[in-house]
Structure 1
Amino acid sequence: MPRPVGPAAWTGRASAVRPAGTASRAARRIATAALVALAATGAVASPAAAHPDEERHRHTGGSGTGIRSPRGDVRPAAFDLVHTSVRRVGKQLVFTETVRGRAGSVRPEPTGEFAGSEVLSYVWPTSLDPSAVGFTGKSGILALAATSHPDFDDTPRYDEDRNGRTDDDGARWHSHWVVLVPDTTRPDGALKVRDIAEGERPDLPETWPGVPLYLDSPPYPARLKAGTVQIRVPLADLGFPDGFSYDGVTAALRVNADLHDPLLRVADVFDVASGRLSLPGRV
């Protein structure tokens, strides 16, 4: 099993980033409450009764139809979700998010510091157990994400821009599996990517990048075109699950300024596909 290492393993330019936009207070409140409820129970909540905000985000049920969200006032428009889906195509699962603006057009601004830096992301929270991709079972909420962060590189196995270096590609949109848990150091119920404490030896995926987090760097390209973000995942990599639930989120994460637990927390939620993170999508 890989041995956890410190933040120095996050190679590339160190930096921090200014927030790319601000979500509505309602969206943050709904997302935070739902995320905390999910993480606190250690299980995915079943779709609940209609909520006022979920009425605005009325989703379409059924396999392959996904979650349809109304065009809103989320800024930037690149993070305003209008449709989220996960569908089976042959031997792959295709994770897709469509936004009101141009997907991926807004990225964090490099500042030259790793501590305090920001990560922008398109995220698919799922009901899959983290053990499906190699993490310790029942360790949190497993989510697939497409991320950009110009100040560090957490895909040391890959040279995404094909310039002969593997430590300078953080700004390019790329994929991760992450495990989310509550950040108990804050009273507002924010989530964080689960830390790996010193001396802890959890189960980790083979493509774990060597950082002290429940974070995996699989070789799945994040494809962004017009208003769409898409990641294709081989079914075999998930053990051919019979089915699972999912939702869509756009968010900013921040590296802790003192590089201590929590190392990487959810700092701002821009939009939630279902309105309340009820995971109404079904594969």
Structure 2
Amino acid sequence: MFTSRLLACSVLLVSVGACAHTPSPTKFESAANKAIPGEFDLIQTRVYRDGPYAVFEHSVRYGAGALKPNAIGQLAGSEVFSYVWPTSLNSSAVGFAAAQGILAFVLTAHPDFDDTPKFDENADGKFDNDGDLWHSHWVVLTPDEQCGPGALKVKDIPADAHPNLPATWPGLPLFIDSPGYEPELKGEQVRARVPLKDIGFPEAFQYDGVTAALRVNANVHSPLLCVTNVWDVTSGDLSLPATYAPQ
């Protein structure tokens, strides 16, 4: 679970967009920790430009993407494993309403449901059976004590609300987007390329790295999707100490 400093910083991020830090535009490293599963032990996190793309990248101790949740045969109570890049980007950068919380790019896997209805990741002609494959999302994260002391959730959309949503919103009552960017997970590397045009060609933004598990509420209701376990945070405190710069 998040430390008190991590919670304080997450609340500050939601309210003002960043925590105090010394920006670092280059390597953003973390010491290995053998108490963390190697698949989620973050060694380095970076976001950098490669032509028309922003490349979101993690390095882990070993086995990138090899560890996934066990299927339980239903949505309620099911788990989601994730590689996360929390950013200082405004939620409006990807098509949500402005200033909704922490905008994070994530790669997730979850065998009990599919939340990319516009994409057939396993190329079997079906669009609703491949949630167990790693895939990409944008999500908005906010604190919610109903998820546990100091915990974050993917922000819920109330039943009577009609917020701005991205064109590739998957239809869930959450601030989540399914843009279809294909991830690469191999060896020690976790990587995905995001077209810069899709995030408004930002001049710069702050970011961090997180590996975490989330769980669908047993009642499949607000809060729908809570962060239940954090394996690692590259900065140690979610302070977003690294800077993406286009140069």
TM-score bracket, normalised by the shorter chain, equals: over 0.9
SS at match of 1:35: helix
SS at match of 1:242: coil
SS at match of 1:109: coil
Partner of 1:34: 9
**1:226 is aligned to 2:201:** no
- So what's the TM-score if we normalise by structure 2? 0.94
Letter of the 1:158 counterpart: F
Q: How many residues align?
A: 244
Residue 113 of structure 1, CA deviation: 1.4
Partner of 2:202: 241
C-alpha RMSD of the superposition: 1.6
Partner of 1:176: 137
Letter of the 1:266 counterpart: V
What 5-or-longer segments of structure 2 have no aligned partner? Answer: none
Superposed CA offset, 1:30-58 (max 9, x none): 5444324423x34221217xxxxxxxxxx
In the aligned structure 2, how far is the partner of 1:28 from the partner of 1:102? 27
Residue 29 of structure 1, CA deviation: 5.3
Change (3 A) 1:29 1:73: farther
Partner of 1:44: 18
**1:197 is aligned to 2:121:** no
Partner of 2:73: 112
Residue 28 of structure 1, CA deviation: 5.0
In the aligned structure 2, how far is the partner of 1:145 from the partner of 1:124? 6
**1:257 is aligned to 2:218:** yes
In the aligned structure 2, how far is the partner of 1:232 from the partner of 1:245? 17
Percent of aligned pairs sharing the same letter: 52
Partner of 1:102: 63
In the aligned structure 2, how far is the partner of 1:190 from the partner of 1:159? 32
In the aligned structure 1, how far is the partner of 2:142 from the partner of 2:211? 17
1:78 to 27, 35, 39: 39
Change (3 A) 1:187 1:117: closer
Determine if contact 1:74/1:270 at 8 Å carries over to the other structure. Answer: no
**1:274 is aligned to 2:235:** yes
Moved over 4 A (4+): 27-30
> Which stretch of structure 1 is more off in the superposition, 30-39 or 98-107?
30-39
2:51 to 78, 85, 90: 90
In the aligned structure 2, how far is the partner of 1:33 from the partner of 1:250? 19
Residue 220 of structure 1, CA deviation: 0.3
Residue 228 of structure 1, CA deviation: 0.8
1:160 to 106, 121, 132: 121
In the aligned structure 1, how far is the partner of 2:189 from the partner of 2:107? 12
Structure with greater strand share of residues? 2
In the aligned structure 1, how far is the partner of 2:240 from the partner of 2:204? 13
Determine if contact 1:136/1:202 at 8 Å carries over to the other structure. Answer: yes
SS at match of 1:277: coil
Letter of the 1:267 counterpart: T
Superposed CA offset, 1:169-189 (max 9, x none): 100000000000111425512
- So what's the TM-score if we normalise by structure 1? 0.83
SS at match of 1:207: coil
1:123 to 63, 67, 84: 84
